[in-house]
Structure 1
Amino acid sequence: MKRLFRFLFRTLITIVGIVLLYLLCAWLFSRITVKAEPGQSPDIMVYLKTNGVHADIVLPVKNEFKDWSADIPYAHTRSGDTAVSYLAFGWGDKAFYLETPTWADLKFKTAFRAAFALSSTAMHTTYYPALKEDESCIKLAMGADQYKRLIKFIENGFEKDSSGKPIVIPTEARYGQYDAFYEATGTYSLFQTCNTWTNKALKASGQKACWWTPFDKGIFYQYKK
């Protein structure tokens, strides 16, 4: 019996130690700044928006570089509203997105599979008629070349059908009247989270970012410090 308790105690200490190390690394690496590329002209305004857990990157629906409504039809949302100006993108674990509308609905199996890269991914898109800057929504400007790279990064996050269009996920699991889910590329894990993806989007487009962060707080720290 003593051996069993000793084993359980050591196991518990190991798990706690790993969790603390993960959180420490998340804090430290999110404080390391990846500087924005110099000399950018403020051609396009994009936004970083968080719900307190997920940080999305938000782009204009239409401009001279991309019409997102051609790939993400308004009809895929419940509202079908075309009077919108912005489109948010958030990559993440498919089961977590579709099966966990609130934290109370989170299942151990869903969390375990997400943490250890055992499930597929999805792209969550949300249309917005307008955006307002506040503590949860930050505006940043980038040049045309950087914006084109951001478009390419986001496009590569979608799984495509034979015609090259994103594959919509038929589901009633929605967060509102303006969102839809699509099949995504890549694998979610403790080290590649929804916020890691957004942070990589910033890096890909030459914007200020964290060295690495699994949490939205790390990204927003860089833009609020």
Structure 2
Amino acid sequence: MKIIGYALLGFIAFVGCYLLIAFTLSRITIDREAGANGDVAIYIMTNGVHTDLVVPVKNDQVDWSKEIRFDNTTSKDSTAQFLAMGWGDKGFYLETPTWADLKFRTAYRAAFGLGSTAIHATFYKNVTENASCRKIMVSRDQYARLATYITSSLQHDENGHAIPIKTNANYGKTDSFYEANGSYSMFRTCNSWANRGLKASGQKCCLWTAFDTGIFLKYK
């Protein structure tokens, strides 16, 4: 009983320290680069837990539809104007369509970096600013850096193309999954991935965050 008690206290202490560090570091702001033009509109979007980076499907700099193909969605609708992308644990994405489907094994593997990762890509015809979706104007150079960051997160085949994941676990008719680089963990989450994307493109962001709250506090 003493061993169990010590183990339980240790677990509670670990969780408490983790949450305290996550709260503290997410409140430390890295400011936006000064003097940059607002040439391209991007967005950050949250479902209340997970942050996506939203970019134009196509402009004169990047045509995402060449790699994140409409044909890999159920609808195959090519009229979308925006593309939301989020990075995360592959098992969590494909095996947990709702929180009710979450299994201990999936959560454990994700928390401790034991699984592979995926990019979840969703096409939108329109994007509306609200509390869960914020618009950010970036310069052409900053957008190029963001595109490089996202591209580097994708795995590519021998021909240099993003690798789609064949699955029936899509969340809707306009989304698909792609193999990704990196390992997800409680210290390298979907939200910390989005936060690093903002940092790479010179935007206001957290020093570090595990949760979406820290990011969206910067864009009230």
TM-score by length of 2: 0.99
Q: What is the percent sequence identity of the aligned residues?
A: 52
The match for 1:68 among 40, 64, 67 is 64
Corresponding position: 1:183 with 2:195: no
The match for 2:144 among 139, 144, 148 is 148
Corresponding position: 1:161 with 2:157: yes
Q: Deviations over 1:110-129 (max 9, x none)?
A: 01111111000000000000
Please tell me the residue identity of whatever aligns with 2:210: P
Segments of structure 1 that go 5 or more residues without pairing to the other structure are none
Query: How many residues of Structure 1 are paired with residues of Structure 2 in the alignment?
Result: 220
Q: Deviations over 1:115-155 (max 9, x none)?
A: 11100000000000001000100001011111100000000
The match for 2:216 among 199, 216, 220 is 220
Corresponding position: 1:106 with 2:102: yes
The CA distance in 1 between the partners of 2:122 and 2:89, in whole Å, is 16
Corresponding position: 1:139 with 2:135: yes
TM-score by length of 1: 0.97
Aligned Cα root-mean-square deviation (Å): 0.5
The CA distance in 1 between the partners of 2:93 and 2:69, in whole Å, is 20
Corresponding position: 1:196 with 2:188: no
Please tell me the residue identity of whatever aligns with 1:220: F
SS of 1:59's equivalent in the other structure is strand
Over alpha carbons, which structure has the higher Rg? 1
Q: Which runs of 4+ in 1 moved over 2 A?
A: none
SS of 1:123's equivalent in the other structure is strand
SS of 1:122's equivalent in the other structure is strand
